Amino acid sequence: MTTYLLRRVVQAALVLWLIWTLIFVIYFVVPHDPARLILGFRAPEWLVEKLRVSLGLERPIWQQYFDYFVRIFRGDLGQSFVVGAPVTSVIARDIPVDLELGLPAAALWLTVGLGIGMLSVRRPGSIRARGATIFIFSVLSTPAFILGGALLFISDDILSRHGIHVFPFPGTWTPLHVNPLAWADNLALPWITLALVSAAVYARLSRSSLNAALHEDYIRTARAKGLSERRVFYRHALRAALTPLMSQFGIDLAAVLGGVVVVEVVFGIPGLGHQLITAVRTEDLPTIQGIALLTSAFVVIANLVVDLLYAVIDPRVHITRTRV
């Protein structure tokens, strides 16, 4: 297991190095003049030359490449030209917002999705199972911005007209440490939007995984030994069916922590996704680059953690991999 763990860490580090190298090529090698690209074509030449010197663009490409990674590991991602602050401070300011948005939504979509999937497998053909199937396909076919807009319309236009003020107007956000009740009230609709869209995916995955697991030989053996159907389902089939869900969960959680652009824009949440849209509109390339570096790190690390958890969830994975 130790050898496998070391190999997976090395593989993750290699993938992250390749992604960051690609970002370096896109921003510092492909453009004819990266400093001019960053500052824009209207910037005065003296300012462009100053940025060239600060970025070390007059140095050989191999030295620029080395300095690029040194700056990353030092936490120096450049200066935002829009905010007027280091990119690391901009990211550090917005990361808590994404954590507060993503973690509760992830717990909600995992609980709802897995519950619907188990219901559709344990009670096939029932009204509840059919309703779950309709839910899966209807929500899966609805984009997040339409679902979020529909929830806003119901909350602000329909309920508010009748004097029912359940959720605040979008664009308001209160930090958790300031007022927990207002914090939950502000993020309830974004949580529901994220949870509904993702829960449909998890419901479909869990349903197909559980159906496949229940037809495995070891399930038939467990039944032949006289184990109760409840024990067979929850102790054996569900544990094996969680493996593909963990893969999807790692990717989805990393995407949320890296900034959910659509949801943050629809509800006016000041997170990384909203900051990324602002950076793209204003051509704030250092901020775009910094968010790209952070998001890639989230995805790689999340997949590494999920892959290492496979052995805990499914013992068969543990046995197979320890023999390698």
Q: What is the tens place of the pLDDT at every residue in 247-287? A: 778 777 777 776 677 788 778 788 888 888 888 887 788 88
Q: For residue 22, name the pLDDT band (cuts at 50, 70, 90).
A: very high
* Arithmetic mean of pLDDT, 90-103: 85
At residue 322, does pLDDT exceed 50? no
Q: Residue 86 pairs with which residues in a beta bridge?
A: 79
Q: Residue 79 pairs with which residues in a beta bridge?
A: 86
At residue 158, does pLDDT exceed 50? yes
| Tokens at 56, concatenated | 């070390």
Q: Is 124 left (phi over 0), alpha (psi -120 to 50) or beta?
A: beta
Give the residue from 105, 91, 143 showing the smallest Cα distance to 292: 91
The reported pLDDT for the residue numbered 324 is: 37
Mean pLDDT of the chain: 78
Residues 136-140: contacts with CB under 8 Å, at least 24 apart: 136/200, 136/203, 136/204, 136/207, 137/200, 139/196, 139/197, 139/199, 139/200, 140/200, 140/201, 140/204
The reported pLDDT for the residue numbered 284 is: 80
Structural domains of the chain, with CATH? 2-74 (no CATH), 90-322 (1.10.3720.10)
Distance CA 142, CA 285 (A): 32
Computed on alpha carbons and rounded to an integer, the radius of gyration of the chain in Å comes to 24
CB contact at 8 A, 199 and 206: no
Q: For residue 210, name the pLDDT band (cuts at 50, 70, 90).
A: confident
| Tokens at 224, concatenated | 């032949």
At residue 95, does pLDDT exceed 80? yes
* Arithmetic mean of pLDDT, 38-57: 75
Q: Name the residue with higher pLDDT: 78 or 312.
A: 78
Distance CA 267, CA 193 (A): 10
> Across 11-140, where does the E strand assignment appear?
none
Distance CA 103, CA 40 (A): 37
Task: Say which DSSP state 271 is in.
Answer: S
* Arithmetic mean of pLDDT, 68-91: 84
The reported pLDDT for the residue numbered 265 is: 79
Angle separating helix axes 285-313 and 87-122, nearest 10 degrees: 40
* Arithmetic mean of pLDDT, 86-98: 86
At residue 17, does pLDDT exceed 90? yes
* Arithmetic mean of pLDDT, 171-176: 70
Least confident of 39-48, 89-98, 158-167, 265-274: 158-167
Cα-Cα-Cα-Cα torsion 121, 126, 130, 135, nearest 10 degrees, comes to -70
Q: For residue 294, name the pLDDT band (cuts at 50, 70, 90).
A: confident
Give the residue from 267, 262, 5 showing the smallest Cα distance to 144: 262
Distance CA 109, CA 196 (A): 7
Q: How many CB atoms lie within 10 A of CB 203?
A: 26
pTM beyond 0.75: no
CB contact at 8 A, 259 and 98: yes
The reported pLDDT for the residue numbered 320 is: 46
* Arithmetic mean of pLDDT, 312-317: 58
Q: For residue 18, name the pLDDT band (cuts at 50, 70, 90).
A: very high
At residue 323, does pLDDT exceed 50? no
